[in-house]
Structures are given as structure tokens and as C-alpha cells.
Chains A and B, each alone.
Chain A
Amino acid sequence: MALSREQLAQRVAKELQDGYYVNLGIGIPTLVANYIPEGMEVMLQSENGLLGMGEFPTEETIDPDLINAGKQTVTAVKGASFFSSAESFAMIRGGHVDLTVLGAFEVDVNGSIASWMIPGKLIKGMGGAMDLVAGAENIIVTMMHADKYGNSKLLPVCELPLTGYGCIKRVVTDLAFIEIKDGAFHLLERAPGVSVEEIVSKTAGKLIVPDHVPEMVF
């Protein structure tokens, strides 16, 4: 079975480490915050100027001056700080964020990522995604392995306009955990019940499959 959005977030959350500063993108990456292991201390960075993002507020504590990068009202945890957009991207571009998780339309065997524009269809802008992929050493991309017609989104070369060139090393899809190195996708884990054959058939870029591919553990 392909992973649900929640399971995908759960698998990504296993990559968190105590003491990490983490930036979570919009969509599935946001859900990772729900699966931070008990007892682990992690600070969430929101690129609009907040380090130490907390949960959603109540009707009583809602504050229009306190939002996240998805423009949702949020709260700040104890030990949080606020700062300008320039300061925020100094943290990001300067490599101070330990882990960045973001979504994508496509990735390719060279680690390039396309996530911000579908020509003729969707023009919303890149927001902070280009800065995030350029600045972070440790990035996990969460995405669907293929579109609803079964067309692979893990390609030899990205077809859509790029967000970043050669910057992605790890991808968690609804089918597999994949590492990108030496110009190929490397299959590390498969979703429970998903066959290696299915993953091979839905991966358009060069895929290296080891003899044994373990199932993901949550």
C-alpha cells in the first residue's frame, strides 16, 4: 500500500534529531510537526520571521500579527524569537537550519528539483523554496512517486522550470525512500506492501536497486 500523507510525514519525522532547527514547507511537510518523537526538542523555523513555531492558537489567543509561512495563524513556543525576512534568510542561506523538508512536482537523478511553476497552468511564485534548497545541506523532499496516470515524477531530467539545481539528496515518496547520488536514484526503503517492481516501473530516472530493500518502519 502506498503511504498516506500522514505516514509519509511519520517516516520523515524519523529523520529528526534532538536539538535540530527545522524548516517545514507547506503541505505534507507541515504534518511532520505532528510526529516529533516524545522527549525530543526541535525548534521549527518559519521563514516569514519566526523561530520556535508552536501549535495553532485558540479563538481566545489568535493574533493577526503571528502567522506562519503558509499565512496560517500560529503560536510561538517558549524560547521563540521573531526577526526580519533578511535575518530569516540569513539563517536559511547561511546553512544554519539543520533540516529542511519541502514538497516537489519533480526531482531528477542529478538532484535537481522543480516545485514552483507549471508553465501555462500555475504561476504562484517560488516564495522561499529556491533559497531553502540553495541554502540547506540537509533537505528531504516529500512527494508523490507518480501522477494519477502513473507517470513518474522521478525523472532523468526535470521537465518543469527548476527550483534548484543539483541540491537534493533524499526523497520520501508514497512508495519509497530514495537517496540521490552519482547521477542515480538509490532505493533505500519501500513502503510496506509495495513491491520493488512497482517502484521500478514508476521511476523514470536511473534507479539502483540493492539485493535487499527493507520495508519502512514507523
Chain B
Amino acid sequence: MAGLNKVVSSYEEALTGLSDHMTIMVGGFGLCGIPEGLINQMVKMGVKGLTAISNNAGVDDFGLGLLLKHRQISTMIASYVGENATFEQQMLSGELNVILTPQGTLAEKIRAGGAGIPAFFTATGYGTPVADGKETREIKGRHYVLEESLTADFALVRAWKADTMGNLVFRKTAANFNPMMATAGKITVVEAEFIVEPGELDPDHIHTPGIYVDRVIQGKFEKRIEQRTVKAAK
């Protein structure tokens, strides 16, 4: 690496420093927009006792589901875990500590974490189990819950295009949690479908400025579809 060139040439290099008991953020919604190669590399490394922050937990044999299968995650912070049987079984047995978090609150916790905001008030979850043990406050006649922000040792992000300086562009609904997570990692690693030279991305169209990004790796993606739905051909 030299100067602002953040491109690394191997998955080993991309995740150097990631070790047991760290907190990791992993982008994606369902299987859409997940950093597939970085997840596979964590499986290969065998890191254990991870706290994983991700909207979902993948499916049994793909995405974060692979880390669960190998019992590498001890705490999971997510909003929806419905499609993963391994997950449910580990949660019910108490093997896995799960902090279910409303999706919008999760997104905002990460956004706030990356933006240096330690906590915020939201009406989401007031009067529900999500508010248990949390400070609440009435502001202008409405009740709010104090939610603390989230950061991570490593944020693992998938982008469509990255330039070598780490400027990022996401594609369609594969953006989801990736832009916020890119801002909230002590080390942010981006797995990109395409890596281009600085200047090739229009500065007006960059979603995530390179200042947030530490490493960029050229990815290879299967892009598995969770719910393949099509209309009848005419």
C-alpha cells in the first residue's frame, strides 16, 4: 500500500488484524449486498467469539449462516433472523446471545456511530420489550427511547464500484446497510465488484467518500437469490 491507494491483493491481507472476540459489521439485507468473499475468509481464518452486527444472519449454508454453522459468532445484533434454522436453534439453546433490534434503529445506531453521535432518542420500540432497561424521555408530548450508537473493530462492506482511493458507489438495493457500516468500522474493508482508477467515478455520484475506507479488494460474487420471484412471461 502506498499513499491513498487502498487496494489489497488477497483476502488474507484484507482481513489482517481481525481476531477472536472482535466486533464486526457485515453489510447486506438478506443475501443481497453481502461481502461474500470476506465472509468466506472469516470462515477460513476460524476466528471465534465474534460479535456480529448485520441486519440478517444469512441462510444456513450461505452468508453469515456459515459463521453460525461453525459457531464463530457468540453475539448477534440483527433485526430479522427468520430464514435461518441454525440461528434459531443456537438462540433457543442459549449458545448464541441475540440482540434483536428494530431495523431503522439498527441503521441509525450505525449511522450515528460512524458520525460520532453516542446515542439518540427514537419513538421506535417505546412500550415494547426493546425499551426494557433503557432510558426514556417525553419530548413535546411524545415518548422516546434512548438508543446507543454502534461501531465495530471491522466493517465489512460490499460495493459495486470502488476506486483505488476507496470512493464507493453502491448498486440498487445492494446498498442497504453498506453505506453506514462503511463509516462505522475502525477498519473498513470493501469488497468491490469493480475497482477503477481515481477520476473514473463522477465525484457528484459517489455514495461513500474514500475517507471512511481502509482497504479495498476485488471481489468475486455468486449473488445467490433468496426468493426468486418472476412474473409469467407474456
Within 8 A of A (CB), among B95-114: 100, 102-108, 110-111
* Closest chain B residue, CB of each to CB of A126: B102
Check B102 against A49 for contact (C-beta < 8 Å): no
Q: How far is A16 from B88 in the complex, measured between Cα atoms in Å?
A: 38
Check B129 against A67 for contact (C-beta < 8 Å): no
Check A135 against B81 for contact (C-beta < 8 Å): no
Q: Which residues of A contact B130 (CB under 8 A)?
A: 126, 130
Check B128 against A48 for contact (C-beta < 8 Å): no
Tally the A-B contacts, defined by beta carbons under 8 Å: 177
Q: Which residues of A contact B122 (CB under 8 A)?
A: 93, 134
Check B105 against A84 for contact (C-beta < 8 Å): no
B18 vs chain A, min Cβ distance (A): 24
Q: Which residues of B contact A46 (CB under 8 A)?
A: 173
Check B223 against A64 for contact (C-beta < 8 Å): yes
Q: Which residues of B contact A131 (CB under 8 A)?
A: 102-105, 124
Q: Per-position contact with A for B52-65: 1 when CB-CB < 8 Å, else 0?
A: 00010000000000
* Closest chain B residue, CB of each to CB of A48: B29
In this assembly, does B8 line the interface, its C-beta being within 8 Å of a C-beta of chain A?
Answer: no
Q: Which residues of B contact A134 (CB under 8 A)?
A: 122-126
Q: Which residues of B contact A82 (CB under 8 A)?
A: 170-173, 175
Q: Which residues of B contact A88 (CB under 8 A)?
A: 104, 107
B150 vs chain A, min Cβ distance (A): 12
**Are A49 and B173 CB-contacts (below 8 A) given A123-B88, A161-B128, A162-B129?**
yes
Check B224 against A64 for contact (C-beta < 8 Å): yes
* Closest chain B residue, CB of each to CB of A112: B127
In this assembly, does B79 line the interface, its C-beta being within 8 Å of a C-beta of chain A?
Answer: yes
25 contacts between A and B (CB under 8 A): A47-B103, A49-B176, A55-B231, A56-B230, A64-B224, A65-B32, A66-B173, A67-B30, A71-B32, A71-B83, A73-B225, A74-B229, A84-B179, A84-B207, A85-B103, A85-B106, A86-B108, A88-B107, A89-B103, A92-B104, A93-B122, A126-B79, A134-B124, A161-B129, A162-B127
- Contacts A86-B108, A123-B100 aside, 4 further interface pairs with beta carbons under 8 A come to A47-B104, A65-B174, A86-B107, A135-B124
